[in-house]
Structure 1
Amino acid sequence: MLIAVGIHLLLLMFEVLVCDRIERGSHFWLLVFMPLFFVSPVSVAACVWGFRHDRSLELEILCSVNILQFIFIALRLDKIIHWPWLVCNF
């Protein structure tokens, strides 16, 4: 229960930072994505605990699997890496 509250608070912090970034545009996207970077290891720990105690997991699995996607989206939005959003082979 405590782990789930922590995960939800970090997700709320991410949403607030995204809204603030869109409104003001004052900080980097990497700083906005920091709560997601922290929620991923916590989600891995929650998944291990949940599988050992036969609990159902939904949100924790999504957060733990998508850590690389969070990192690359933040780097792309800050224009540190220059990959196109869409890759077409025509």
Structure 2
Amino acid sequence: MKMKKRAVGVLAATFAAAAMPVMAASPASADQGDCQYYLHEAGYQVGPKATSGCEAGSRFSPIAYGDCLSQLLNIGVRIEHAHRACGLAGA
């Protein structure tokens, strides 16, 4: 019986250790790279101006989303694509 409890304890510890990196990585999974990739997949050329917009959106500030949106709209990104890309940058 003692051996069985020990085995269960080892399995629980192993599971917890394996799950920890996944739980720690989840909140910060979106960034400016996701924004750029989304724009690329939507058919836009991702150059320095698009990169700058995505970078602006990835900053943690109250005006970051607006900066991202403004920069992307100024280079001709459609509004629905700009909203989605900036959301990905700041998520």
TM-score where L is the length of structure 1: 0.29
Higher relative contact order (CA 8 A, sep 6+): 2
TM-score where L is the length of structure 2: 0.29
